[in-house]
Structure 1
Amino acid sequence: MTQTAAASATLLDTLPPPSATSTRLVARIRDEAEALAAARKLAEDFRREAGLRDRERKLPWDELERYVRSGLWGISVPREYGGAGVSYGTLAEVIAIISAADGSLGQIPQNHFYAVELIRVNGNETQKRFFFERVLQGDRFGNALAELGTRTSHERKTSLARNPHGPGYRINGRKFYATGALYADWVPTSVIDEQGVQQLAIVPRHAAGLTVIDDWSGFGQRTTGSGSAVFDNVQVPADAVIGFASAFTRPTQIGPLAQILHAAIDLGIARAAYADLLEFVRTRSRPWIDSGVERAGDDPLTLREVGDLTIQLHAAEALLQRAGDRLDTAAAEPTEDSVAAASIAVAEARVLTTDVSLAAGSKLFELAGSQATLAEHNLDRHWRNARTHTLHDPVRWKYHAIGNYVLNGQNPPRHGAL
């Protein structure tokens, strides 16, 4: 048996046990136009009960299944491996479209696309062929990266140690903010090896010793399943371990890719709040008595605020597309300068998408009036989702990185949090 064949056999042995997910019939999306059309069609469906799912914390199992079967979870797989290989701008727009329908559904595959990108950048040929085909067949990656109780949000304690009783490794540790792990087929897990270097181990969701706990209690993004993952002597073959730290010690697109997806989620949430604001003011709101008009939509101060919010939203959309273009350039030729330019462009987009998502969620109530606060509408979910998700990275440090770059020519740090 060749080395490549042996590696493939080992990976195949780690597949989860047969389940309903093994019979998924997944569409193959061929290009960017198909991806955007599929996202818009799904969004119409997902929007209908988004408020109900949030209010009752009804986990979106059925919606996720339709999302995967649409083929959208495979659109970032490179063309040479059978995927559509869409641009980063298109990938971000797909996430924004779904997030506008349901912010939680928009966030769940964020770490899936992150894992696909890490495999693309750091995986060997066997890993690429195996995992990319699994993605195209409908497998979902989750996430077990972050931990509580460390000095900073980027430190890790979860260990990867040689298996004393056989080949491969054992993982021990506890994770939190494990978005998507609850729904996943595979759980990419950041671990510290015996040399103190951070790696990524891709663990089957139903591996012995892995427990995913649905204990996410955040007031926003309530159905992302972003709870805990506990690893108790979980075995993983050497072939399922991919370099993680090395994706940041050299210039790669991994960091800005992670960040543009976060920006897209926030943009989608902003679009949802903006659309609900317009609809409520048009159909339900009453004009203020001093305005002298018959319709809330004719109130001159309301018109001014809607105009301002519209400009903010359109500016955020433009910066997101610009960031996608810079990221395409960096991925095609990753250098210190191209990756720095992409990181700064994405940071600019994140500033505006953060601001407009929070502003839209707040202005909705200011302009729509007290009727909009009634629980039956559940419109507060937009602000709750935005406030929760935008805490992922502090925007104040993005202002610092942008200013230092343009004024002093200082490239930003390379990590996933810029």
Structure 2
Amino acid sequence: GNWDLVGNNTPIFFVRDAFRFPHFIHSQKRNPVTHLRDWDAFWDFISLLPETTHQVMILFSDRGIPDGYRHMHGYGSHTFKLVNKDLQPVYCKFHFRTDQGIKNLSPQTATKLGGTNPDYSIQDLYDNIAKGNFPSWTFYIQVMPFEEAETYRWNPFDVTKIWPQSDFPLIPVGHLVLDKNPGNHFAEIEQLAFNPNNLIPGIEPTPDKMLQGRLHSYIDTHIHRLGPNFNQIPVNCPYRVRVANYQRDATMAIDNQNGAPNYYPNSFKGPEPTPNGAWSTYDATGDVKRYKTEDEDNFSQPRILWSNVLDDGARDRMTTNIASVLKLAAPFIQERTVKMFSQVHPDFGARLRNKLPHFQESSEE
């Protein structure tokens, strides 16, 4: 069957709980009155949720504008389970590291390309595949034993945090090579329905809250976009088996599963559950309720990124990028945002203050 790995070109995400996901997306929308980009909404949401700090720093860093798809890493971001043939599980994270090397664009170059060739990244990928210069990524995993997850210093299911490679080294397991371009963009790209529920035996979800939310939201969105039979569309079909479920009729019914019954149980050889597809079990204790996670450690990993990963030039470029759009937000939102970044490191906040006209004007009064 198919395995769809949900992920991103950053190892983390903005929010750790799926119920905030729609609100995050809403904060990116255009202003309902002016229909202009609403920087008040963006920075208001960010500054009221410090858990966004880590991802925002990466977004506005040099890696926020990759030089095309070939020069970026890919990350599964979420925490998954790997289960061996003896039903022994471990937690894991998935990484695709580009074999072409990391390469980024400056904001000035990106701005120019936005006007002269907004399809730059698509064209770069297509042209290189067409001429046989196939891009590739080395596939790695990180592994965390269950016992260590119970006592680890950070929540291993928090998608706003990484697993440091010093604690959990990358283990190479394979390669991904893109060696063929689509022959029909609509049929093979627009009708794609990647779904994190598409898992194969041995790979399972975890209590990662954002992953749990995606397990529901992706399939729900595909049903609205493509219809309930989206798995029958050729680009979404598994290669070695036929779609076998109890869905009948409605849009995108390609073969109607040859008149098979649409109820279970039945006496007419309808599909049966596959024993080797059953998920492993795990122990859980505690009260079932909504837990607030706003006060979980939001700044120690961003502080490591600022102090140990970024050099001085990278810090300067990142704060310049942030200031270039933060200055478009209301003054009170600017002040709250600078205060948030100051909790990462005092120098972070100081550099932002020095680059924001609002603070310069206030100091002159």
- TM-score interval for Structure 1 and Structure 2 normalised by the shorter chain: under 0.3
| Greater gyration radius | 2
> Per residue, is there more helix in 1 or in 2?
1
User: TM-score, structure 1 length as denominator?
Assistant: 0.23
User: TM-score, structure 2 length as denominator?
Assistant: 0.26
Q: Which protein, 1 or 2, shows the higher relative CO under an 8 Å CA cutoff with sep ≥ 6?
A: 2
